[in-house]
Amino acid sequence: MHKLHNYIRSEHFHYIGWFVAIASFLGSIYYSDVLKLPPCILCWYQRIAMYPLVLIYMVGIIFKDKKLSYYVMPFGFIGLGISLYQMLLQSGLLSEAESCRFGVSCLDTSFKLLGVFTIPMQSFIAFLLITLSTFGAVLLDKAKKESKNL
């Protein structure tokens, strides 16, 4: 019987992560340049964690870098943390940080995709998908190594 990991390669998980990173990059540009929604300071930090992933994934996929997941994971965790922090701020569970009081408020929830998803929620989902895809690639590689050792 063939195992599922014989048909799936870790590159497939990287393509998923790369697609999410590209979609997030384009979405953030659309929000700021087309919809004229100025990003707050925490949104900028999330962009700083997301934007490099487009190139990191591209280079890692082109050169078939076996350690690509390990380059991506820190960005995923940082982005998850920042977006979760902003979601907690917006929900009122945390008080607004001093840095969020200058310029655009980090508490602004005036834009919601489909009337539900705030921008930090969208960011959290994107970083979660990227992080899960990197874990999927790592677990798949481990499963393939273990099956070769049997």
Instruction: Please classify residue 133 by burial: count the beta carbons closer than 10 Å to its beta carbon, then call 0-12 exposed, 13-18 middle and 19+ buried.
Output: buried
Quick check: is 2 in a domain? yes
What digits encode the pLDDT tens for the residues 103-149? 777 767 677 777 678 889 999 999 999 999 999 999 888 887 777 76
The two three-digit tokens of residue 45, written as one number: 């930090």
What digits encode the pLDDT tens for the residues 8-66? 677 889 999 999 999 999 999 999 999 998 888 899 999 999 999 999 999 999 999 98
Which residue range(s) make up the domain with 42? Answer: 1-91+105-149
Quick check: is 99 in a domain? no
Q: How many domains does the chain have?
A: 1
What CATH number has the domain bearing residue 41?
1.20.1550
Decide: 71 and 131 in contact? Cβ < 8 Å. no
Quick check: is 53 in a domain? yes
| The model's pTM | 0.87
Quick check: is 96 in a domain? no
Quick check: is 51 in a domain? yes
